[in-house]
Structure 1
Amino acid sequence: MPKTVTIIMLWVIHVSALIGIAMGNQDFFFPKSPFTLVYLAILCVWFFPVNSVKKALLFGLCFITGMSVEWIGVHTGYLFGDYHYGVNMGWKLDGIPYLIGSNWALLSFITYEISRKYITQRLLIPLAGAFLMVVLDFFLEQICDVAGFWHFNNGADWFNYICWFLIAAALQYVLQFFNLKGDIKISLHLYSVQLIFAIVLWIIITI
């Protein structure tokens, strides 16, 4: 399927969900979230693309890192706070959704590509990529409860974002070391659709 068509479908899915949720159909749309996250992962793998052994290994490294730090977070309370995952994140491994691991990998790839494209100072590229990841995480934290994604017993505090930034920056520097390159168009769409969805949904649930 052509890239343009899949990008249009990506936006249609998210805009339709926002309209449906605004109309009071949360119980229909939120449980479909795993399918949307799978679609995001497929777009990243196919169009970024993840088309070499190097990229596949880097994607796998980001996936395993994401799953590992989330396991530490959920089972120990360190890193991100006291939280657990909800029913709308799909299948889990010992309480950690597989899709959260794939989203760590996806976000690491696309934010690095965006930063690499627009930041000229080489040492700042990974930091900018990590910042983009934390920005998205901040807005996702505002909707995670109502969406059934994850739940913080005492809310996400500043330490959560510091840990997110440090872990994300470490992954970004690894991607830079191995000179990762991808498609900027798909990266921008995959990032912006998630960011805009989270912001608009936050507005919807607070008005």
Structure 2
Amino acid sequence: MKLNKTIICSIFIVMFHLVGLYGFLNSELEKLFIVLVPFHLLLMLSLLVISTNDFSLNIRNFAIIVYLAGFFIEVIGVNTGLIFGSYTYGEALGFKLFSTPLLIGVNWLILVYCTGVFLEQFKIKSALIFCLIGALVLLSLDFLIEPIAIRFNYWSWAGGKIPLQNYLGWYLFSGLLLWIYRRLDFQKQNKAAIVLLFAQAGFFLALNFWAL
């Protein structure tokens, strides 16, 4: 039953990313698929919940802490420019509170969880090395995400340029969230999460190549 859940969730993850890629590459469907971005994020989160076999207090605490930390770091960032640089959110990520989409915390949660689960495969003993490598993985994803996010109105940067501060802030904050992941004891084997990590990377990589 565990294997079946994992396979089914993985199939849905790959299928929806392929459909999304087709939609974003089709000018006639582009606007519709931008509207569907919030629903896609919630669907991916739901598939991760379904595919995990741990519903303990620790994993719930992890989800709450990372969601709130991700949301409020963005609130501070977007309203002060002190964390990532000067930027504003568009409408693609849905309803906003304090000029920040509520779903941005979900995005941080998905990325950190999937990256953490992926790194578990390498059995890294040092928590510091785990966090440093994990932050590098997340930073690499940000390099892929940024041009597409700007193009499709997820967010925009003052002056139209992505500051170095953004990448530094992303790296340090990612490392902090991965430290929280490492500290809390819960089931960290979820192959669907690894599929989602690579599906997202492939999705944004394909869009970047298409834009060349």
Task: Report the TM-score when normalising by structure 2.
Answer: 0.90
Q: CA offsets, 1:116-171, max 9 Å, x none? A: 22153423111111111111111110101222211112322221111111111112
Per-residue deviation, 1:106: 1.7
Say yes or no: does 1:148 pair with 2:153: yes
SS at match of 2:162: coil
**2:80 aligns to what?**
76
SS at match of 1:164: helix
5+ long unaligned stretches in structure 2:
none
Structure 2 distance, partners of 1:197, 1:50, is 28
Say yes or no: does 1:39 pair with 2:43: yes
**1:19 aligns to what?**
22
8 A Cα contact 1:49 1:182, kept in partner:
no
Q: Could you say which structure has the greater relative contact order, defined with CA pairs below 8 angstroms and 6 or more residues apart?
A: 2
5+ long unaligned stretches in structure 1:
none
Structure 2 distance, partners of 1:136, 1:178, is 24
Judge which range, 47-56 or 61-70, deviates more.
47-56
Change (3 A) 1:12 1:70: same
8 A Cα contact 1:117 1:184, kept in partner:
no
RMSD: 1.7
Say yes or no: does 1:174 pair with 2:180: yes
The partner residue of 1:126 within 126, 131, 144 is 131
Structure 2 distance, partners of 1:45, 1:30, is 24
Q: CA offsets, 1:28-80, max 9 Å, x none? A: 21211111111111122222355111110111110111011101110001111
Structure 2 distance, partners of 1:86, 1:72, is 17
Structure 2 distance, partners of 1:165, 1:180, is 24
8 A Cα contact 1:30 1:147, kept in partner:
yes
Code of the residue aligned with 2:23 in structure 1: it is G
8 A Cα contact 2:90 2:154, kept in partner:
yes
**1:65 aligns to what?**
69
Structure 1 distance, partners of 2:133, 2:185, is 16
Per-residue deviation, 1:4: 1.7
Code of the residue aligned with 1:150 in structure 2: it is W
Code of the residue aligned with 2:185 in structure 1: it is N
Change (3 A) 1:48 1:165: farther
Per-residue deviation, 1:172: 1.2
Structure 2 distance, partners of 1:99, 1:157, is 23
SS at match of 1:84: strand
Moved over 3 A (4+): none
8 A Cα contact 1:62 1:104, kept in partner:
yes
Structure 1 distance, partners of 2:12, 2:151, is 25
SS at match of 2:82: coil
- Give the number of aligned pairs: 206
